Amino acid sequence: MTCVKQARFILKNNHKTKQEIRATMALLEDFNWRHAVKAFDPTKKVSQENIDKIIEAARLAPTSSGLQPFRLLVVESQEVKDKLVEGALNPDCMRECSHVLIFAGWKDYSDQKVDEVYDRTTEKRGLPQGRFSSYTDKLKEIFNNQSTQENFEHIARQAYIAMGFALAQAAELRVDSCPAEGFSTDLVDEVLELDKQGLKSIALIYVGVADPERDWIAPMAKVRNATEEFVIKY
Ligand SMILES: Cc1cc2nc3c(=O)[nH]c(=O)nc-3n(C[C@H](O)[C@H](O)[C@H](O)COP(=O)(O)O)c2cc1C
């Protein structure tokens, strides 16, 4: 870019430098880069360092009232993946991906769980005992007045936010992934013995290295609603 062009570019972009602009665009570039991979190379693994970063992104996701009412099950074992193939809409992805990250939610909220989270928060922040008691009383009242199903749906919504964070982190690392709901939650719950842990599976992410020969969707255009359609202004 010539000096004049660069100056115009900077002026047009609110006096930001090119580097600053590139930095602000980076996340959108990552989102444009990613796609829901349809086939992974079974001979390639994602590094533990990258898996750890993706896990950390999910762990740092915000949740309603900070309850983090879900756990992340990280499946690397081929034996376990093979057991889950049967119920999967994408059996090849289940068999051949490097890791399966499964989001599993609490089966329900309980007064005890709410107290555990807020006792820990009170302690970690060095706050006086009972600092949150009027808030937790309200939360407990809401959850106790809702059905288990309604509570589980609320729990699942929290897990989906974390799933989005994990997908975003994977994209930033240029790690291939595919989010999926197309799997047997009953089979996952049974194989991973989730009931015993008070959990139920919700959704998962296949993480791995795409196989360019078989990942038929890779060259296709990203299809989204146009911004004018997507955004409704008031
Ligand atoms: C919650 C959720 C569930 C999904 N379930 C599946 C699935 O079971 N199998 C699959 O191949 N893709 C699944 N997808 C991928 C979507 O089909 C894909 O994200 C969408 O078509 C947009 O394409 P892109 O992600 O490649 O941009 C799922 C995506 C989300 C967000």
> In total, how many domains does the chain have?
2
- Does some domain include residue 140? no
Same domain for 40 and 94, yes or no, is yes
State residue 25's pLDDT score.
75
Same domain for 95 and 197, yes or no, is yes
Sequence-ordered alpha helix ranges (H) in the chain: 3-12, 18-33, 48-60, 78-84, 91-96, 111-124, 133-145, 148-172, 185-191, 227-230
Structure tokens given for 38: 């349809």
- Does some domain include residue 131? no
Same domain for 165 and 83, yes or no, is yes
State residue 186's pLDDT score.
98
Q: Specify which residues 200 forms β-bridges with.
A: 105
Cα-Cα-Cα-Cα dihedral sign, residues 155, 159, 160, 161: positive
State residue 7's pLDDT score.
47
Count CB-CB contacts under 10 A for residue 90.
20
Cα-Cα-Cα-Cα dihedral sign, residues 15, 20, 24, 25: positive
Please list the pLDDT of the chain residue by residue as tens digits (234 residues). 444 444 444 445 556 666 665 566 799 999 999 999 999 999 999 999 999 999 999 999 999 999 999 999 999 999 999 999 999 999 999 999 999 999 999 999 999 999 999 999 999 999 999 999 999 999 999 999 999 999 999 999 999 999 999 999 999 999 999 999 999 999 999 999 999 999 999 999 999 999 999 999 999 999 999 999 999 999
State residue 95's pLDDT score.
98
- Does some domain include residue 23? yes
Residue ranges making up the domain that contains 47: 36-107+152-230
* CA 79–ligand 1 middle distance (angstroms): 25
- Does some domain include residue 223? yes
Query: How far is the C-alpha of 74 from the C-alpha of 104, rounded, in Å?
Result: 11
Q: Are 180 and 201 in contact (CB under 8 A)?
A: no
State residue 4's pLDDT score.
46
Count CB-CB contacts under 10 A for residue 91.
13
* Residue (of 169, 163, 156, 164) closest to 64 by Cα position: 156
Q: Is the CB of 222 under 6 A from ligand 1?
A: yes
Mutate to test the pocket of ligand 1, among 33, 38, 84, 181 (most ligand atoms within 8 A of CB): 181
How far does the chain reach from its first CA to its final CA, in angstroms?
39
Same domain for 71 and 12, yes or no, is no
Return the biggest CA–CA distance within the chain.
67
State residue 2's pLDDT score.
43
**What size, in residues, is the chain?**
234
- Does some domain include residue 80? yes
For the entire predicted model, the pTM comes to 0.91
Q: Are 133 and 115 in contact (CB under 8 A)?
A: no
Query: How far is the C-alpha of 141 from the C-alpha of 139, rounded, in Å?
Result: 5
Same domain for 7 and 91, yes or no, is no
State residue 15's pLDDT score.
60
* CA 178–ligand 1 middle distance (angstroms): 7
* CA 60–ligand 1 middle distance (angstroms): 22
Same domain for 222 and 179, yes or no, is yes
- Does some domain include residue 186? yes
Query: How far is the C-alpha of 51 from the C-alpha of 216, rounded, in Å?
Result: 25
| 10: helix, strand or coil | helix
Sequence-ordered alpha helix ranges (H) in 175-233: 185-191, 227-230
